[in-house]
Structure 1
Amino acid sequence: MNSPADSGAHRPTPVAVVTGSDSGIGRATAVRLAADGMDIGITWHTDEDGARRTAEEVRAHGRRAAVRHMDLTELPDAADAVDRLAQELGRIDVLVNNAGTGTATPFLDMEYATVRGVLDVDLIGPFLCGQLAARRMIRQGGGGRIVNVTSVHEHQPRVGAAPYCAAKGGLGLLTQVMALELAEHGITVNAVAPGEIATPMTGQEDEDVTSTSRPGVPLGRPGDAREVASVIAFLASEDASYVTGASWVVDGGMLRMGPQAGSHLESDAWRRP
């Protein structure tokens, strides 16, 4: 894959497509990759204004931005946005499968349409987007990077999140299969598994994470979207050229506390024997 440092007269500027980049982790990732020298393809589901603001931030770094609507409940056609963005920007070197959704409904009360929708957005959508991106990367040559944004619930369950956990767990294993099959083409595939991150999805958009107490998280606070974006940016870079098939947890130590402790403990008593 061409790195930003290699781009110039003889190498095209690398292009990254970041799904769900109208806010939160997606926006932070798009802006970080632009700062690292990439042109950015941006997708949005319901927040077109947010996507336009992301594009403005990308362009402020001197990079090109292209914006497309993507509703991953309308598969398989919705995944074509990846191809359209790659065509508009001339290539694709990095795909970040970030778009996602979740639930807070007990298993026994879950309706089929909800289950189907979460699986489409969180698992089948990334599968199809990854196929389209990988096929383009192979045709253009030079390898590539795919980063699938999962969750700590790729690794541990949470009450009320049955289809979300199933999808994220599936995406984690899909990441490993993709890594094995695409390695011969020079394409690395990794997962990034965030814990509680201050984003619209958690009702904490633009929150100062240092002022929010999370006693059950060893680092004592939620994460900032830019902290996740930094890990994604590493995996999208030449520095990670020998990293594939891995899941990078970004959770302030939450998983070490057990599957539900992070956001449920209300005191620091656990820190003392």
Structure 2
Amino acid sequence: MTSPFTDSTFVPRTAVVTGGDSGIGRAVAVALAGTGIDVGVTYNRDKDGADATVQEIRQLACAAFSTHMDLTDLPGAADAVDTLAGQLGGIDVLVNCSGTGTATPFLDLDYDSWREVLSVDVDGAFLCSQRAARLMVEQGRGGRIVNITSVHEHLPKVGAAPYCAAKAGLGGLTQVMALELAQHGITVNSVAPGEISTPMTGQEGEINARPGVPLGRTGDAREIASVVAFLASATSSYMTGASLVVDGGMALMGPQAVQFVPDDSWRNV
């Protein structure tokens, strides 16, 4: 079946961003609102952060709502997608930003920690995407799903077994969804950030020097958000199943070793 949808028929009006209370999620929500999209965000613990995101969106003259979602409480937590879609009057874009990880050696990892990361990072994204996609199909006007994975979707890191497994799994899920949802005019892509200055990485918005990264620094959440905004737009209509790595060149160096490069001497022949 050939999809009848083209870039001229898809106009995103509403979006749901999970984990929109801080970091990349907040930056994405605000970036989408900057293009005129009404946005609903979810939060787990930081209601104040979600409220601040909502206020920032409303200052851009867009509608905004927030609701609680705990992705360790599945499958019921995915009801948040339907709740926000109801408040927004539909859903054209879903961005799965919620995530967690560990810093535990493989041999010391307990099953509960393993399952918590998998639950949040891949099970939650699966359920939220399924809810959103069903609504998009029912609406009949196409849609966009963007999964925030990581450079570790593609490359490993010591101490991050469940995180790497989850992000790689989400990358594979992205590709299957892209195949199956294309006939409905729904594109599905992932964005794979490197080290971004966010609360999750212990950096509250500070851009820090990283000699081992070709661009020499950590990333800003808004640099990820701008890529997501492109994938959420009509302009990206012929892109699906892709993983866009946005990492300052980290993957070119190897994300495991790059943190141990002390200076710029590697740049010399």
Interval of TM-score (by shorter of Structure 1 and Structure 2): over 0.9
Q: Distance in 2 between matches of 1:99 and 1:159?
A: 22
Higher relative contact order (CA 8 A, sep 6+): 2
Question: Which residue is equivalent to 1:144?
Answer: 143
Verify the 8 A CA contact 1:22 1:54 in the aligned structure 2. Answer: yes
AA aligned to 1:120 is S
Question: Which residue is equivalent to 1:86?
Answer: 85
Question: Which residue is equivalent to 2:60?
Answer: 61
Alignment of 1:220-259 (within 5 A): 220-259=216-255
Q: Distance in 1 between matches of 2:124 and 2:262?
A: 36
Verify the 8 A CA contact 2:24 2:221 in the aligned structure 1. Answer: yes
**Aligned residue pair count:** 265
Instruction: Map Cα deviations across residues 85-120 of structure 1 (whole Å, 9 max, x no partner).
Output: 001111000000000001000001111110000000
Verify the 8 A CA contact 1:4 1:14 in the aligned structure 2. Answer: no
Alignment of 1:117-196 (within 5 A): 117-196=116-195
Runs of 4+ off more than 3 Å:
1-7
Instruction: Map Cα deviations across residues 158-198 of structure 1 (whole Å, 9 max, x no partner).
Output: 00000000000000010000000000000000000000000
For residue 260 of structure 1, report the CA deviation from its aligned partner: 1.1
What is the SS of the residue equivalent to 1:148? strand
Question: Which residue is equivalent to 1:18?
Answer: 17
Unaligned regions of 5+ residues in structure 2, if any?
A: none
Q: 1:130 to 1:158 in 2, by over 3 A?
A: same
Verify the 8 A CA contact 1:123 1:170 in the aligned structure 2. Answer: yes
Q: Distance in 2 between matches of 1:115 and 1:79?
A: 20
Question: Which residue is equivalent to 1:97?
Answer: 96
Verify the 8 A CA contact 1:188 1:245 in the aligned structure 2. Answer: yes
Q: Distance in 2 between matches of 1:3 and 1:203?
A: 39
Verify the 8 A CA contact 2:121 2:167 in the aligned structure 1. Answer: yes
Question: Which residue is equivalent to 1:74?
Answer: 73
Q: Cα RMSD (Å) of the superposition? A: 1.7
AA aligned to 2:256 is Q
TM-score (norm 1): 0.94
Structure 1 vs Structure 2: percent identity of aligned residues?
66
Q: Distance in 2 between matches of 1:145 and 1:89?
A: 16
Q: Distance in 2 between matches of 1:4 and 1:92?
A: 18
Verify the 8 A CA contact 1:2 1:14 in the aligned structure 2. Answer: no
